[in-house]
Amino acid sequence: MTTARRKFSQEFRDELCREVISTSKPIRDVAEAYGIGTETLRHWLIKYRDANGGTETELTVSERARLKELEREVQELKAEAQFLKKRPWIHTVNATPR
Protein backbone atom coordinates (compact mmCIF):
# COMPACT_ATOMS: atom_id res chain seq x y z
CA MET A 1 0.00 0.00 0.00
CA THR A 2 1.45 3.32 -1.04
CA THR A 3 0.71 6.62 0.57
CA ALA A 4 -0.67 9.44 -1.49
CA ARG A 5 1.84 12.05 -2.53
CA ARG A 6 1.34 15.25 -0.57
CA LYS A 7 1.18 18.57 -2.39
CA PHE A 8 2.21 21.84 -0.80
CA SER A 9 1.27 25.32 -1.93
CA GLN A 10 3.95 27.62 -3.29
CA GLU A 11 3.19 30.01 -0.42
CA PHE A 12 3.96 27.26 2.12
CA ARG A 13 7.20 26.37 0.33
CA ASP A 14 8.30 30.00 0.20
CA GLU A 15 7.49 30.49 3.88
CA LEU A 16 9.69 27.55 4.90
CA CYS A 17 12.50 28.82 2.67
CA ARG A 18 12.29 32.28 4.23
CA GLU A 19 12.39 30.68 7.69
CA VAL A 20 15.58 28.78 6.85
CA ILE A 21 17.22 31.89 5.39
CA SER A 22 16.14 34.46 7.98
CA THR A 23 16.75 32.36 11.10
CA SER A 24 19.80 30.45 9.83
CA LYS A 25 18.28 27.29 11.24
CA PRO A 26 19.58 24.05 9.75
CA ILE A 27 17.40 22.71 6.95
CA ARG A 28 16.95 19.47 8.87
CA ASP A 29 15.47 21.24 11.90
CA VAL A 30 12.91 23.18 9.85
CA ALA A 31 12.00 20.12 7.78
CA GLU A 32 11.44 17.98 10.88
CA ALA A 33 9.39 20.72 12.55
CA TYR A 34 6.98 20.75 9.59
CA GLY A 35 7.05 17.03 8.87
CA ILE A 36 8.62 17.14 5.44
CA GLY A 37 11.75 15.54 4.06
CA THR A 38 15.10 17.25 4.40
CA GLU A 39 15.94 16.78 0.73
CA THR A 40 12.53 18.10 -0.28
CA LEU A 41 13.14 21.33 1.62
CA ARG A 42 16.68 21.53 0.24
CA HIS A 43 15.31 21.40 -3.33
CA TRP A 44 12.68 24.01 -2.52
CA LEU A 45 15.39 26.24 -1.09
CA ILE A 46 17.55 25.93 -4.22
CA LYS A 47 14.59 26.88 -6.41
CA TYR A 48 13.64 29.74 -4.07
CA ARG A 49 17.15 31.19 -4.15
CA ASP A 50 17.28 30.90 -7.94
CA ALA A 51 13.94 32.66 -8.29
CA ASN A 52 14.73 35.39 -5.76
CA GLY A 53 18.34 36.15 -6.56
CA GLY A 54 19.81 34.32 -3.60
CA THR A 55 18.22 36.65 -1.04
CA GLU A 56 21.50 37.24 0.75
CA THR A 57 20.92 39.62 3.60
CA GLU A 58 22.99 42.73 4.22
CA LEU A 59 25.43 42.53 7.14
CA THR A 60 24.54 44.44 10.28
CA VAL A 61 26.93 47.01 11.74
CA SER A 62 28.11 44.60 14.44
CA GLU A 63 28.59 41.79 11.90
CA ARG A 64 30.56 44.11 9.65
CA ALA A 65 32.77 45.18 12.58
CA ARG A 66 33.37 41.54 13.56
CA LEU A 67 34.25 40.70 9.95
CA LYS A 68 36.84 43.50 9.83
CA GLU A 69 38.28 42.31 13.15
CA LEU A 70 38.59 38.74 11.86
CA GLU A 71 40.14 39.88 8.58
CA ARG A 72 42.72 41.91 10.52
CA GLU A 73 43.48 38.89 12.71
CA VAL A 74 43.97 36.70 9.62
CA GLN A 75 46.44 39.22 8.19
CA GLU A 76 48.39 39.28 11.47
CA LEU A 77 48.52 35.49 11.59
CA LYS A 78 49.69 35.33 7.96
CA ALA A 79 52.45 37.84 8.71
CA GLU A 80 53.49 35.86 11.79
CA ALA A 81 53.57 32.64 9.78
CA GLN A 82 55.78 34.28 7.14
CA PHE A 83 58.13 35.51 9.87
CA LEU A 84 58.38 32.07 11.42
CA LYS A 85 59.11 30.48 8.04
CA LYS A 86 62.06 32.83 7.50
CA ARG A 87 63.48 32.51 11.00
CA PRO A 88 66.45 30.15 11.19
CA TRP A 89 65.75 27.54 13.77
CA ILE A 90 68.64 26.13 15.71
CA HIS A 91 67.74 22.83 17.22
CA THR A 92 69.79 22.08 20.25
CA VAL A 93 69.05 18.98 22.21
CA ASN A 94 71.35 18.45 25.15
CA ALA A 95 74.62 19.34 23.49
CA THR A 96 76.50 16.64 25.37
CA PRO A 97 78.48 14.19 23.22
CA ARG A 98 77.62 10.52 23.44
* Annotated domain spans of the chain: 10-51, 58-88
CA–CA gap between residue 19 and residue 27 (Å, rounded): 9
pLDDT for the residue 4: 81
Q: Which residues contact 45 (CB under 8 A, 6 or more apart)?
A: 17, 20, 21, 27
Are 16 and 34 spatial neighbours (Cβ–Cβ below 8 Å)?
A: yes
Q: Maximum Cα–Cα distance for the chain, whole Å?
A: 83
Give the phi and the psi of residue 15 in degrees, each rounded to 5: -65, -45
pLDDT for the residue 71: 95
pLDDT averages per 10-residue partition of the chain, 98 residues: 82 93 89 94 93 71 89 95 78 54
pLDDT for the residue 95: 53
